[in-house]
Amino acid sequence: MARARGRIAGAISVFGELLITTGVVLGLFVVYSLWWTNVLADREASAQGDRMRDGWSHSGPGELDTKDGIGFLHVPAMNNGEVLVKKGTETDALNDGVAGYYTEPIKSALPWDDKGNFTLAAHRDGHGAKFHNIHRLRAGDPIVFETKGTWYIYKVYETLPKTSKYNVDVLQPVPEESGKKKAGRYITLTTCTPVYTSDYRYIVWGELERTEKVDAQRTPPAELR
Catalytic-role residue among 73, 187, 192, 204 = 192
Question: What is the rounded distance in angstroms from the CA atom of residue 64 to the CA atom of residue 60?
Answer: 9
Q: Are strands 185-193 and 116-121 parallel, antiparallel or unpaired?
A: parallel
Give, in degrees to the nearest 5, the angle at Cα 204 between 198 and 205: 145
Phi-psi region of 53 (alpha: psi -120 to 50; beta: other; left: phi over 0): alpha
Alpha-carbon 7 to chain mean position = 54
| Residues 6 or more apart whose Cβ sits within 8 Å of residue 179 | 157, 158
Question: From CA 153, how far away is CA 223, in angstroms rounded?
Answer: 8
Q: Which of 177, 55, 169, 33 lies closest to 102 in space, CA to CA?
A: 169
CA atoms within 13 A on the CB side of 142: 19
Active site residue 154: no
Q: Which helix (H) or strand (E) holds 9?
A: helix 2-31
User: Which residues have a catalytic role annotated?
Assistant: 192
